[in-house]
């Protein structure tokens, strides 16, 4: 039986300050395996109560415009962070590193969205942090590991590892 080929890596990010070690691992794997990286950021949708309150104060078209502008701003933040990583960490290497990246933002439950994106993008591996933004073991990571149909690499994101 042949070893599984990894062509697509799904890298999930909260865009938090301790996520660079996770991205570093995704980039290292992608370079080693000649794989592409799908960079996934998930935004939890606003709840029904919040949506109802907003509708009382703003017209629907204004809410939709604010939503779209917010998504665009997050996408720009992702691009800026990736560019900064490339300059700071890849710029000093002897050989040029050519990253094959696709940036994706989805709205929904974290675990369900990650598993769905892994299926939609035919990911052969998921790379994500093992701790949440508070430094505790991530419930989302545990749930993804439990529900994933592909290998999941859980990278420590604590300050000692960063």
Q: How far apart are CA 154 and CA 38, in angstroms?
A: 16
> Is pLDDT of 161 > 60?
no
Enclosing H/E stretch for 117: helix 110-120
Q: How far apart are CA 1 and CA 115, in angstroms?
A: 26
Tokens of 28: 């290292």
Enclosing H/E stretch for 55: helix 48-57
Model-level pTM? 0.85
Per DSSP, what are the bridge partners of residue 40? 12, 104
Q: Which comes out higher in pLDDT, residue 44 or 97?
A: 44
Mind listing the domains of the chain with CATH numbers?
A: 8-28+42-155 (3.40.50.620)
Tokens of 148: 């994933």
The string of pLDDT tens digits covering residues 57-93 is: 778 788 788 888 988 999 999 999 888 888 887 766 6
Q: How far apart are CA 99 and CA 28, in angstroms?
A: 10
Q: Are 134 and 159 in contact (CB under 8 A)?
A: no
pLDDT at 162: 46
> Is pLDDT of 98 > 70?
yes
Which residue's entry shows tokens 């949440």? Answer: 132
Least confident of 48-52, 58-62, 122-126: 48-52
């Amino acid at each position: 039986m042949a070893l599984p080929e990894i062509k697509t890596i799904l890298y999930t990010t909260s865009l938090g300050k301790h996520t660079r070690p996770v991205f570093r691992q995704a980039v290292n794997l992608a370079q080693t395996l000649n794989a592409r990286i799908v960079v996934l950021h998930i935004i939890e949708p606003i709840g029904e109560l919040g949506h109802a309150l907003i509708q009382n104060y703003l017209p629907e078209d204004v809410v939709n415009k604010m939503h779209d502008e917010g998504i665009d701003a997050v996408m720009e933040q992702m691009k800026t962070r990736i560019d900064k990583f490339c300059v700071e960490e890849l710029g000093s290497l002897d050989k040029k590193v050519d990253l094959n990246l696709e940036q994706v933002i989805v709205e929904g439950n974290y675990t369900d969205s990650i598993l769905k994106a892994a299926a939609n993008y035919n990911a052969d591996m998921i790379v994500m942090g093992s701790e949440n933004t508070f430094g505790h073991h991530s419930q989302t990571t545990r749930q993804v590991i439990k529900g994933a149909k592909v290998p999941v690499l859980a990278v420590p994101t604590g300050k000692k590892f960063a």
